[in-house]
Each structure stands twice: as C-alpha cells, then as structure tokens.
Structure 1
Amino acid sequence: MSRGWAKVKRFRIGRLDKEARRFLEGPIEAGGILFKKPGQVSHEGERHTHDRPEVFIALSGRAKLLVDGVEHPFEAGDIVVIEPGEEHHIVADEEDPIVNIWLHIRAEGIEGEC
C-alpha cells in the first residue's frame, strides 16, 4: 500500500486561509462526531464512496486514512476533504484512537495542499 497525500486535499486547523475556510461555510447535508475504538475500521469490508464531498476534522488522536488504496496519516488538527467517488476508510490508532467530525457538504472545486 502506498503512502502520501497525492490527490487528497489536506489542511491544518491553524493554517486555514480565507479560501480554505469556504468549504466550512457551505451547506452541510449531514454530519456527526465519531469516537473510534483502538484499531477500529470504518466501513470495514465494503466499498465506501459518496456522490458529494465529505470533510473529516480530527479533534484528537490519530488514525490512518485510506483513500483509493493510498494510506495517509490523520491526526488532531487535520482537516481532509474527500472528493465524490473516492473510496475511503479510517483506521483508528491502537494507542491513541481518533475522535473526528465528519460532514457531507454541497460544494465544488475545493482546493488544498499539505
């Protein structure tokens, strides 16, 4: 499995500029807070995609974020945008499991970088 931030749009909470903040100001269709158990995998064993962007905001802990088969570190302070059609799963860290917010949004052309 490869690692890196190839296509995934990632921001840091303390470094959000005006352009990056706009996705949080758009209409939110659904959302919630997830408390993962150590090693827990979201949507285990199934292909998981959406027809709209999904935003993950890491509040505490760590995880691996798998997007289209590529592994990305995901930790407190990260904001990640998953584009429509990208397969994704979160794997909570064994020692410091992730707590994160997820949001389904109506937005297009979200751009970001590490």
Structure 2
Amino acid sequence: MFEKRELAREHLKFENNLFAQRLVPWPLLNAPFEGSWCVIAPGTASTPHAHHEYEIFIAMKGKARLETGGKSIDFNVGDIVHFTPGTDHSIVNDGTEPFEMYSVWWDAPMAENFLKKHVATEN
C-alpha cells in the first residue's frame, strides 16, 4: 500500500520565520520521525533555536548559510547536516532566490510510538 503527498506551495504555513509544509499529521503514515518542507525567502533567516530532538537538514534548492555553534557554513543543494539535541541552528538566505530544504527530526518517544503502532498492526 502507498499514499502520495504533494507539496502544496499555496498552503505553506509561516512558522519559525520560514514557510513550511509538515509531513504530519498523516493518518496512514507510521514513522519514527517527523519532517517538513521548508522555504526560506531571500534576505531572511529562520529563527535561531535548539530543541530536544535530533535533526537532519537536506538542501534541495538554492544556496544559504547555516549558522550553528558560533560558526557560519555554506549550505548548498545536496548538502546534508545533522544536529544533536540542544544544538543551536538557523538558516540564512542572503541570496535573491528562495532556499528550499527538507528537515527531519526524531526523538525516543517518536521511535517508541512507531514501534507500538507497528506491533499493533502486525497482530
């Protein structure tokens, strides 16, 4: 069984100073993670923050800078970055085109909920 979700650019929600479409809620999907398509407008930056989850960013379109731990690092199409819990981070788009990326995050409770649902569907 499969289900396709399409990116609905007209319905991107503004949060953390960027536009995003979250992967969840998605009733059919049982995953040990959450995710979001993110668009950072030219001349803006995502809100600097840190959280308890692990996280991966995957650069999909454009060029930006990743600011983390007092460092500024180029972040370009095809790059992937991983953050451990508590690591501050922000994406800065100094360019003239939107920067697009996918963010995936997870923690132990997400993994536990995934396993519970998985076991329940096997029985």
Which category of TM-score, normalised to the shorter sequence, fits these structures? 0.5 to 0.7
Instruction: Confirm or deny that 1:42 pairs with 2:46.
Output: yes
Matches within 5 A, 1:1-114: 27-28=32-33, 30-43=34-47, 48-106=49-107
Question: Residue type matched to 1:98 in 2?
Answer: F
Aligned length: 78
Unaligned runs of 5+ in 1: 1-25, 108-114
Preserved contact between residue 51 and residue 84 of structure 1 (Cα < 8 Å) = yes
Q: Pick the structure with more helix per residue.
A: 2
Structure with the bigger RCO (C-alpha within 8 Å, sep 6+) is 1
Hey, which bits of structure 1, 4+ residues long, moved more than 4 A? none
**Distance in 2 (alpha carbons) for counterparts of 1:80 and 1:52:** 14
Match of 1:111 in 2: none
Higher Rg: 2
Preserved contact between residue 41 and residue 97 of structure 2 (Cα < 8 Å) = no
Question: What is the root-mean-square deviation in Å for CA atoms of aligned residues?
Answer: 1.7
